[in-house]
A and B are shown apart, each in its own frame.
Chain A
Amino acid sequence: MNKKYQAIVYTFLIVTGIILFTVGFTILSPEEYSRMSGVFIGIGIGLAVMSFSLLLTLILNSRLPDDIKKIKEIEVNDERNALIREKSGYKTCIAMSYVLCIFIIAIGLMGADLEIILMAIAVLAIQFILIIYYSNKYSKTL
């Protein structure tokens, strides 16, 4: 994705975030749709702040001197760094599977609603589905 296109996407996301935030605050008044209003405000703020920080990073990176840009590019593309990223990502994924299992058991023992427990199980299931999907994908392409 080129930088101009990235900047357009981030700007669009910032505007969307601000619109969601405004709708949450004004049209959906908290008294009438308190839950819906909270969701709109939360997603709006999250989207706007995340997109703004990504846009800011993009702008600051584009203003870096050429020699610093080259060093950054080397650091990102360096094969050892790529291997470190892949290994640490894999280990984190394995660790998070155990953390999620413990979390599900804990909320079950605490007597949480069935909906909450099912949502947590769904997160774990999505993780396993993604592992299977990417394992299949890379076993065919690599």
Chain B
Amino acid sequence: MKNNLEKIRKERNIKQEELADALEVSRQTIGSLENGRYNPSILLAFKIARYFGMNIEDIFIYEDEKDED
């Protein structure tokens, strides 16, 4: 699953550490999310969307597994 997290975060001049603190996750988790190595739980996805005042679909882009190949 792709996401626009890094782009949105940088647009708002927020550091990874600040975002991690606000979401109560580790900075490594934010890094992994931005790199697409880790897909968040639905709970964390909602927290991220709420933090930025956006919809989940605006941040995370669902792709069929066939499309990802």
User: CB of A75 within 8 A of chain B?
Assistant: yes
User: CB of B26 within 8 A of chain A?
Assistant: yes
Say which size band chain A's interface belongs to.
Answer: under 10
* Among candidates B20, B24, B28, B41, residue contacting A77 with C-beta atoms closer than 8 Å: B24
CA of A74 to CA of B20, assembled, Å: 9
User: CB of A79 within 8 A of chain B?
Assistant: yes
CA of A79 to CA of B40, assembled, Å: 8
User: CB of B44 within 8 A of chain A?
Assistant: yes
User: CB of A81 within 8 A of chain B?
Assistant: yes
Contact with B along A81-109 (1 / 0, CB 8 A): 10100000000000000000000000000
Chain B nearest CB from A52 CB (Å) reads 30
Is the beta-carbon distance between B24 and A80 smaller than 8 angstroms?
Answer: no
Contact with A along B40-54 (1 / 0, CB 8 A): 110110000000000
CA of A78 to CA of B43, assembled, Å: 12
